[in-house]
Chain A
Amino acid sequence: MRTEDLIKALDADAGKKAMPMGKAWWLAVGVAVAIAAAVFFTTIGPRPDIMPAMHTMRFMSKFVFTLVLAVSAFALIRALSVPGASTRRRMAWMLAAPLLVVLAVVLELFVVPQADWGKRLVGSNMMICMTFIPLIGIGPLAVFLGMLRYGAPTRPVLAGAVAGLLAGGLAATFYAAHCFDDSPLFVATWYTIAIAFLTLLGAIGGRLFVRW
């Protein structure tokens, strides 16, 4: 088939319209949040003392970390799913969440006596944390990988990893409402491990499924 001929076929198929990426991403986020919420509320749900907890800095700081991660990952993945889009600035924003966590850890080390560091770090339910963040995040991750297939990422492995970070940020936001361990020492350790797992899964998914 000559390229001329191919163009005739493509031209005849021009009428079919697909949803623009921007709109599709917002739809995907809506679906992902719904899935994460369904899993969260049918399994562990929020902690019973959530109302008083909302008046404490440590509890609220968890949402700052996870939401900053989710928002920066969302901005980056939208650029990564489109060929030729500039990603440098959005990459730099990915440092925001880790930097905030580091800052909080340093502050925590100042205000908490050294004898309590170990107790705060180990917390009371790290296994639940490492189980439920991936469990809440796996559905959203599948949705985001599906979106990457719909898009055209020229760096599929990186885009898959960012899909994992986005799913992780989203899942951790829900999980944070359940978790009793509010110390940045706990968050920096166990949340990171759980999100890293989703990131790895996303990178593998990007490698295997995101072909175009």
Chain B
Amino acid sequence: MTGKDEAELSGLLRTAIAGDERAYADFLHRIAALVRGFVRRKIVQGGVDPEDVVQETLLAIHVKRHTWRPDAPVLPWVYAIARFKLIDAFRRRGRRIEVEIDEIAETFAEPETETVSERDINRALEGLPPTQRSVVSSISVDGHSIGETAAKLGVSETAVRVSLHRGLAAIAKRFGRQ
């Protein structure tokens, strides 16, 4: 199962890096489900919301995707980032935990669906400058495209892309600093 996942997922990310947006969305959805399963099994007591860690991990994967070597397996890379973000989440809440580096747990990481609640990412979003905030929420929460967002805000598509890129980088950075 993991071997097949590995081949499919690294194939998807390679295609995505080559410029296929559809493949990137697919990749992120599948990674989100795997990471959710991994994180939920690691968080046995309360205090840390698994979905916050999932979102932090996705953002980190996105802004650090240039650190993946296309000829290397993708799952060890993904789980290393998830583990780092999980430990970080515990550390921020003043608790030390050891997340063991076990392959077995990863093999059994079944895809899971998300639960809805107030998110850390909303606080990070609110901290953005107004333009970046409206661009990021237009594309994410409202589900508009780059073109629609540009028309709605009365700016160029290039400006929307720049604001989106900076906004996401700022959110990712804020997670790291909290």
Contact = CB atoms under 8 A, between A and B. Distances in A.
B45 interface: no
Nearest to B113: A3
Contacts of A82: 67-69, 77
A7 interface: yes
B67 A151 contact: yes
Contacts, number: 119
Q: Is the interface of B mostly helix, strand, loop or mixed?
A: helix
Size category, A interface:
20 to 34
A22 to B, nearest CB: 7
A5 B83 CA distance: 23
Interface string A75-114: 0000001111100000000000000000000000000000
Interface residues of B, number: 53
Interface in A1-37: 1-22, 24
A8 B139 CA distance: 7
A7 B54 CA distance: 11
A15 B19 CA distance: 7
B165 A13 contact: yes
Given A7-B28, A83-B77, A154-B80, A12 B58 contact: no
B164 interface: yes
* Dominant SS among interface residues on chain A: loop
A18 B25 CA distance: 19
B66 A20 contact: yes
Interface in B89-138: 114, 116, 119, 121-122, 125, 136-137
Task: Name the 5 nearest CB pairs between A and B, nearest first.
Answer: A84-B80, A83-B80, A84-B76, A5-B140, A9-B140
Interface of B: 16, 19, 21, 24-25, 28-29, 32, 51, 54-55, 58-60, 62-69, 72, 76-81, 83-84, 114, 116, 119, 121-122, 125, 136-137, 139-141, 143, 145-146, 161, 164-165, 168, 172-173, 176-177
